[in-house]
Structure 1
Amino acid sequence: MTAMTKTAAQRGLPGARQRSLDHFLASIYLPQARCRKRSWRVDERIARQYLSPTFGRSRLPRITRPAVESWLDGLRAAGLKPSTCNRILAVFKSVCAQAVAWGWLSQSPCQGVRCLRQPLPPARCLDAVDARRVLRALETSSAQEALALRLLLLTGGRKNEILRARWENVCPETRVLLVPLSKSGAARQIALSDPALAVLAAIPRREGSPWLFPGQRPDRPLADIYRFWNALRLRLRLGPVRVHDLRHTFASLLVNAGHSLYEVQRLLGHADPRTTMRYAHLGQGTLVRAGNAVGAL
C-alpha cells in the first residue's frame, strides 16, 4: 500500500467499508458539498431522487460497475434525456471519487462507465432581420427589462452575468464589464462595444443599490425578465425563442459577419473551444461568399 493510499484509508471512519452509500452521503459528501459547491442543491436532489433509491442501502464495496451501467441504462429507458442521465452519472462519479479519497472505497464502481452520447442540438437564434426588430422594439422602452435585454443582445453575456452586474465592475475606460464569478467558476471580462456603452449610459442609478438592474429590494438585483421577454416575443411573432437565445444570436451574427470561432470563444467566455462550435451557424450567404472568394483567386 502506497503512502497516498494509506493516507486515504486512514481518513475513513472505522468500519467505513461496511457502511452504506446513504451513510456516506449524509456524513461526508453532502456536508462538504454544501461548503464547497455552488450547485450543492443539485447534488442533494440527484442523490435523493436517483442514487439512494437504487444504491442507498448498499455497502459501498458491493456496488459494481455492471450495476452502475445497468442503472444508467434504466434511467434512459425510463425516459430521461441523455444529458440528464449524464448529469446524474457525473454526481455519482463525484461521490465515488470522494469515497475513494476518504478510504471508504478502494476503487470507484463508476470507473470506466461512459457517458451516454448526446449530440449537441443547434442553438436557436435570431437572424439579422429579427435581431434588428428586437432592438428597435426594445429601444422604445425605458423599462429595466428592456435595457437588460439590449445589453444581453449587444454583449452575448449570460442572463445572470448581466442581471447581477454591479456598477463597481463597469470599467468604461477599458470598455469592460467584469464578471467576478462566471459559470466556469473563474472571473471573466465582457467586452463593451459602443452600443453597449450607450445602453449603460442610459441606465439610471438607484441610490443605495450597487446593481445595474435593482430588484424591488435595493439589496437584491432584478430577479428575472421572462415575462417582459415573453410578451415582446409574442408581439413580434418570433416563435419559441428564449432569453438565452440572444447569446446564441450574438455568436451567430459574429460568425456570419466573418469573425473567427476563436474571437467568438473569447467574447462568450468559453473555456473549451468545443463549446463554441454549436454557435457556428454559417448562413448560406456566408458560405456562398466564401466559395466566391476561392473562385476569385
Structure 2
Amino acid sequence: MPIYYDERKRRWRFTFNKVVNGHRIRVTKLLPKAWNRNQAQAFDQSETAKLFGAATGTIKQRSLIGDAVVAYCQHRCPSLKEGEEIEKELARLHGYYDGRFIDELPEVAREYIEAECDRVTPATLRNKLSYLRAACRYAQKYHGMDNVPDIDLPRVRNERKEYLVRHEMIQVARSCKTQRNGAWRYARAMVRIAFYSGMRISEIMRIDNKDRLGRYTEIVEDGFILYDTKNGEDRFVPMHPKLKVLLKYLPIPYSVTWMQQIVRRAMDEAGFEHITFHDLRHSTASNLINDDSDLYKVGLLLGHKDPRSTQRYAHLAKKTMNEFIRKLG
C-alpha cells in the first residue's frame, strides 16, 4: 500500500517501491503530523504520478510545494518553538498548494488571498503565507528544490488605534460571567493582570504552571520572571500594586480556551466587539505612552526585541509630545 499510518511515529507515511524502465525506485516519506487521511491520499496520487513521470521522462521534474512542506515539517518544525502550530497552519493551507509547483507559489498566494480576504485579517493572511514561503525556502536551501519566486504579501498597518482605558477594562472585567465553578473569577483576574502587566495570555497561563514545552512564569517579590518568552529570551515584568490581591487566583486552573471564551463574551456584552484579549496588552502600552512614558521603556516592558515592534505606538507618542511642547511659555 503506497500510504499507511505509521503507529510508532503516529503519522501517515508514503512509500514507493517499484521497478520503472528497469530501475528500482524506492522512496519513503513521513508526512506532516497534522495531515489527515484525505491529505495523505492526495499526496500519494500526486507523488506517485511525479515519480513515474520523472522515471519515464514523460514530464519535466519540478519541485512541488507539498514536497517542500513535508521536508519543512519533518526536519525544521521539530526545532521551532511554535513548530506544531506551524504544521497545523500549513495543513490548513493544503487545499491551496496541493499538486502545485514551487514556481506557482505567487499564484497560490493570490488565490488564497482572494478566497480568504473577506474572512481573515491582512496580518493573518500574511503570517500564514509567510509559513508557506519559509517552507519552500528551506526546501530550496537544504533539499535542492526549485528556486522560490517572490510573492506579494498583504500590507499590514500596525498602528494600534483600538485600546481600552482603565474604566473600560473594569467594565469588561465585571462583565465576565459564567455558571461553571466560578471560572468567571479567574477570567476577571486575567483581564486585570493583562491590563496592568502587558503580559500575553499564554504568559499569564504559565504563571506557576509549566506548559508542554517546559516554559513558565515565576512570581517573585516585586514582579514576574517570564522564562523563554516568544522572542526566546527571559523577561522581568514589575508587579503593579493592584495585582497583589489577584495572586490568589494563580495559577489559572482552567484551559486557555475556556478563559478566552468567557472574556470574549464579556467584551461583546460590554460593547467592545472589536477588541480581543491580546488588545489588553496593547492597552497597557497605549495608556503608558499617553501618560508620558517613552517608547523605549514600553518596549522593555512588552519584551520587544525589535524596536520596530514598538513603533506601532509612535502615533500616540507624537500626540503626547505635541502636548508636552505646548507647556513652554
Structure-1-length-normalised TM-score: 0.70
* Segment drifting more, 250-259 vs 40-49: 40-49
Contact 1:29 1:98 survives alignment (8 Å)? yes
Q: Counterparts of 1:121-270 in structure 2 under 5 Å?
A: 122-131=160-169, 133=171, 143-166=185-208, 169-173=217-221, 175-200=222-247, 203=248, 212-215=251-254, 223-233=257-267, 236-270=270-304
Instruction: Give, as a single letter, the amino acid of the residue that structure 2 aligns with 1:154.
Output: Y
2:138 corresponds, among 98, 101, 107, to 98
Which of the residues 108, 111, 119 maps onto 1:71?
108
Equivalent position SS for 2:207? coil
Cα 1:185–1:148 change in 2 (3 A) is: same
Does structure 1 retain, via aligned residues, the 8 Å contact 2:69–2:136?
A: no
CA RMSD of superposed structures (Å): 3.7
What stretches of structure 1 of length at least 5 have no aligned partner? 1-12, 205-210, 216-220
Instruction: Check whether the contact 2:225–2:237 (CA below 8 A) recurs between aligned residues.
Output: yes
> Quick check: which one's strand share is greater?
2
Conserved? CA contact 1:46–1:88, under 8 Å = yes
- Are 1:29 and 2:72 counterparts? yes
Residues 53 and 186 (structure 1 numbering): CA distance in 2 closer, same or farther, change over 3 Å? same
Q: How far is the alpha carbon of 1:266 from its aligned partner?
A: 0.7
How big is each residue's C-alpha offset from its partner over 1:195-241, in whole Å with a ceiling of 9 and x where there is no partner? 223432xx15xxxxxx61123xxxxx665323433454455444543
**1:288 CA drift (Å):** 5.8
**How far, CA to CA, are the matches of 1:284 and 1:95 in structure 2?**
39
Query: Of 108, 115, 123, which residue of structure 2 is paired with 1:83?
Result: 123
Query: 2: distance between equivalents of 1:41 and 1:135?
Result: 32
How many Å apart are 1:42 and its aligned residue?
A: 4.3
1:128 to partner: Cα distance: 4.1
Q: After the TM superposition, which of the residue ranges 45-54 and 72-81 deviates more from structure 2?
A: 45-54
What's the CA shift for 1:49? 4.5
Q: Kindly, what percent of the aligned residue pairs are identical? A: 22
Number of the residue aligned with 2:87: 44
How many residues were matched structurally?
257
TM-score computed with the length of structure 2 as normaliser: 0.64
Mapped to 2, the partners of 1:116 and 1:137 lie a distance apart of 35
Q: Comparing both chains, which one has the higher relative contact order based on Cα–Cα distances under 8 Å and sequence gaps of 6 or more?
A: 1
Question: For each residue in 1:220-264, what CA deviation from the matched residue of structure 2 results, as whole angstroms up to 9, or x when unmatched?
Answer: x66532343345445544454322222121111100100001111
Q: Cα distance, 1:161 vs. partner?
A: 0.6
Q: State the distance in 2 between where 1:49 and 1:223 align.
A: 20
